[in-house]
Structure 1
Amino acid sequence: MNLVTFTSNGVQHWGVTVPGGVLALSAEFPQWPTLREVIAAGAVPEVLAAGQGRMASHAEGSFTYDIPIPQPEKIICVGVNFPDRNAEYKDGQDAPPNMSLFPRFARSFTGHGQPLKRPPESPQLDYEGEIAVIIGTGGRRIPEAEALNHIAALTLCNEGTIRDWVRHAKFNVTQGKNWDGSGAIGPWAVPFTDPAQILDVQLETRVNGELRQSDRSGRMLFPVARQIAYISTFTTLVPGDIIVTGTPTGAGARFDPPIWLKPGDVVEVTAEGIGTLTNGVVDE
């Protein structure tokens, strides 16, 4: 049973996944408007218990998936976090001692089953399959040895990027990473109960059924615990914050010639124990 945010008939709900669809629970817990407040209250076990053994309130196909945390305070992405990704840059430099980070805005993501949008300003829409962690217990200067205790749930991310726009300035990639609806998060949030859920899991991305990215989280240059510790050094993490943990080699930009996403393509991001995030592509 996983946590889910979804929309039906123009109304957004949160609840849990059950056989055949989802069970809306938001009306039963009005004190928590979104899953962000559920997580902040430490109420995930209570919510899961409320859904135990119950039927779907909304059958699959009668609703649309939204990103699990609709308005997180922060979405922080980790760049170049797999060994082969560092080599892709062909700059002769070893992996850096500290991680590369950049922010994304919630508006730049859509939910599972919704199309990624290719803007008219550029055809260079690219995919990046990643595992994302949702912070449960906030904190500042979190010790690395305790960092995994601060995770509430795991989800998946297609960290869609407009490649030529990451080169519009000298020092940052923000422009290319924040086009409305260019990426996706979902389908749901898997409650985090065991470090094994993140330490060494297979992560894969397929485009139109073709395997493009494949690696294991255990090969990350900066493991998730290190990410949480490092990020919380300079900013206070709060419940519902999302850390997008890095993508393996194999994005479209690294082909010769590059292979950009185009309308009609279907991208699937899969990770063991989390599920599959699927999105088509349309022109904005």
Structure 2
Amino acid sequence: MKFATFTSGGKTFYGAVTDTGMIALNDAFPEWPTLFDAVQADGLATLAQAAEGKPVTHTGVQYEMVLPNARRILCVGVNFPDRNAEYKDGSEQPKYMSLFPRFASGFTGHDRPLIRPPESHQLDYEGEVAIVIGKGGRRIPQANAYDHIAALTLCNEGTIRDWVRHAKFNVTQGKNWDKSGAIGPWLVPFTEAAQLDEARIITRVNGEVRQDDVLSRMMHPVRREIEYISTFMTLEPGDIIVTGTPTGSGARLDPPQYLKPGDVVEVEVAGIGTLRNTVEDEAL
């Protein structure tokens, strides 16, 4: 079963996703007013039970960023060998992973537009798998890392390329423009290692494949990400880790091909789904 945050009639709900519409579950769980609260309470299995056999309550909805009140989002950068080679600096595989924070305000939902700001037209795409922590912990060993994952989702980690170069060693300002990226469409409960170990991520722009790789080639696998991050901070339920993007982003093409209004970007992983977004200029 899949779970989403959505808007209908000017109100925000969360619930189970079906082929014909949504089953809203907010009213059944007043102690969990948002999907984030349900994740924090280890409640996805309970939500699935509650949705079983229930009729669809909403159709024609708008998807929101799947956890719009997520408190902490950490992104792993340059995590595929071909991405490392793109930098053409002769560096070997790095011993430690690159990390940076993103904030929920920088993301929109499935089938919603990514926003290109007037300050820069270098809006780029990065298709990635994101994991949602379900059980917190500190200094989590790799052998136990998957026990701490509640769910999987997809991310288009949209980036304003020239703004990641505004400082000597800082990418934060290029990574956090409002609604420059997307997370969704939904959460898929994590139940077996194959969901990650055998995952293949494909990113298309206007139907053209731009990124295509498998997570098993990541320089820092998800188990290592959880181990490393939990060394310096206590992971908490509801934390999101965006695990890394393959080669093929627009900035690395010759010539570069940045997103423009009217483009359609799709990030697809079998077993999770497809995250689709259009592109619009910011309305001033």
TM-score by length of 2: 0.98
Q: CA deviation at 1:46?
A: 1.0
Q: CA deviation at 1:235?
A: 1.0
One-letter amino acid of the structure 2 residue matched with residue 27 of structure 1: D
Q: CA deviation at 1:141?
A: 1.0
For residues 157-207 of structure 1, what are the alpha-carbon distances to aligned partners after superposition, in whole Å with 9 as ceiling and x for unaligned? Answer: 000000000000001100100000000000000000111111121100000
Q: CA deviation at 1:56?
A: 1.2
Structure 2 counterparts to residues 76-87 of structure 1, below 5 A: 76-87=74-85
Task: Look up the match of 1:165.
Answer: 163
1:183 aligns to 2:181 (yes or no): yes
Structure 2 counterparts to residues 108-127 of structure 1, below 5 A: 108-127=106-125
TM-score by length of 1: 0.98
Structure 2 counterparts to residues 236-251 of structure 1, below 5 A: 236-251=234-249
Q: CA deviation at 1:133?
A: 0.2
SS at the partner of 2:143?
helix
Structure 2 counterparts to residues 219-238 of structure 1, below 5 A: 219-238=217-236
SS at the partner of 1:28?
coil
One-letter amino acid of the structure 1 residue matched with residue 4 of structure 2: V
- Distance in 2 between residues matched to 1:174 and 1:214, nearest whole Å: 26
- Distance in 2 between residues matched to 1:233 and 1:10, nearest whole Å: 42
Task: Look up the match of 1:12.
Answer: 12
- Distance in 1 between residues matched to 2:159 and 2:199, nearest whole Å: 24
Q: CA deviation at 1:43?
A: 1.6
User: What 5-or-longer segments of structure 2 have no aligned partner?
Assistant: none
One-letter amino acid of the structure 2 residue matched with residue 19 of structure 1: D
One-letter amino acid of the structure 1 residue matched with residue 260 of structure 2: K
Task: Look up the match of 1:65.
Answer: 63
Q: Does the 8 Å CA contact 1:137/1:238 hold for their aligned counterparts? A: yes
- Distance in 2 between residues matched to 1:21 and 1:159, nearest whole Å: 27
- Distance in 2 between residues matched to 1:260 and 1:283, nearest whole Å: 13
Task: Look up the match of 2:102.
Answer: 104
Task: Look up the match of 1:213.
Answer: 211
Q: CA deviation at 1:19?
A: 2.5
Q: CA deviation at 1:21?
A: 1.0
Q: Does the 8 Å CA contact 2:80/2:217 hold for their aligned counterparts? A: yes
- Distance in 2 between residues matched to 1:19 and 1:54, nearest whole Å: 13
The runs of 4+ residues in structure 1 deviating greater than 2 Å are none
- Distance in 1 between residues matched to 2:100 and 2:132, nearest whole Å: 16
Task: Look up the match of 2:55.
Answer: 55
Q: CA deviation at 1:112?
A: 0.2
- Distance in 2 between residues matched to 1:91 and 1:200, nearest whole Å: 30
Task: Look up the match of 2:41.
Answer: 41
Task: Look up the match of 1:89.
Answer: 87
**Aligned match for 2:129, one of 124, 128, 131:** 131
Q: Does the 8 Å CA contact 1:18/1:55 hold for their aligned counterparts? A: no
Q: Does the 8 Å CA contact 2:76/2:242 hold for their aligned counterparts? A: yes
Residue correspondences, number: 282
Identity %: 64
SS at the partner of 2:210?
strand
User: What 5-or-longer segments of structure 1 have no aligned partner?
Assistant: none
